[in-house]
Amino acid sequence: MNKKKHSVAVIGLGSMGMGAARSCLRAGLSTYGVDLNQETLDILSDAGATAVSTDCLDFAEQLDSVLLLVVNAAQVRQVLITNGLIDRLQPGAAIMISATISAQDARDFAEHLRAKELLMLDAPVSGGAAKAQQGEMTVMASGSDSAFTRLQPVLEATAGKVFRIGSEIGLGSTVKIIHQLLAGVHIAAGAEAMAMAAKAGIPLAMMYDVVTNAAGNSWMFENRMQHVVEGDYSPQSMVDIFVKDLGLVTDTAQSLKFPLHLGATAYQMFTAASNAGYGSEDDSAVIKIFRDVPLPEK
């Protein structure tokens, strides 16, 4: 008798969610897709998804697991609680919450899921769209052994590296928030450096080549400042995402009574960019807060 394939619904088919869903398909999982964008659903359906829908309730009873790759805690709450997904999943199903949320929100969701006999991994991810497409995301997860075991097929399909932070829900989210402190500061610092170069009349393509071949480079500089050199701010990760994430960094630091010198400055830079109308542009558009600086245009 053939063993039943693990069935997983990927909710949120943005740049990372679509990559994760395709990785699940390549791994032979019975993959369902959920998103509000019908065009996105059609793409995943054509790629071989078992079923797609704007509402996970359409196939909730068939699922062994759910991978939530939405933007924030409000969207997680909408999917799981307001829309009633936790009432329709079979007991023992596992939910992998991979949005960047606060540790307290993660603990609150875990409490709701336990009441329905559902498992949860507090499992934020990183790596960007390219790593998601390759099934090589970095996952920083906390949760029970049972949750890790239940979600093992999904982790094997989507992750290049899984860091087991511990059993306590909230630890995974805290590690991701600290990571986002670094990511946001690196983008902000890169933008400041490139803006200074532009002000000094140095060609940004030249400045980019120097930095990416020298000690001042970082992954975020290399990835995001390429967008600046090309004058292309099509959103891969929006300015407003870092307003949200660095807000979580700030809240976490306050709860720890921890001084946040660089993170606070980066938060103000992204907030200024959002208030200037760049919130829906790529997060590299934070460079646009520097006035009277000539930047390349696509």
Query: Is there a catalytic annotation at residue 176?
Result: yes
Are 23 and 135 contacting, i.e. CB atoms less than 8 angstroms apart? yes
Q: How far is CA 197 from the centre of its chain?
A: 31
Can you tell me the distance from the alpha carbon of 188 to that of 191, in angstroms, rounded to the nearest whole number?
A: 5
Tell me how crowded residue 128 is: count the other CB atoms within 10 A of its CB. Answer: 17
With 0-12 / 13-18 / 19 or more C-beta atoms within 10 angstroms meaning exposed / middle / buried, residue 72 is middle
Q: Which of 4, 131, 176, 257 is catalytic?
A: 176
Q: Are strands 125-126 and 94-97 parallel, antiparallel or unpaired?
A: unpaired
With 0-12 / 13-18 / 19 or more C-beta atoms within 10 angstroms meaning exposed / middle / buried, residue 7 is buried
Can you tell me the distance from the alpha carbon of 178 to that of 246, in angstroms, rounded to the nearest whole number?
A: 9
Can you tell me the distance from the alpha carbon of 244 to that of 81, in angstroms, rounded to the nearest whole number?
A: 22
Residues forming the active site: 176
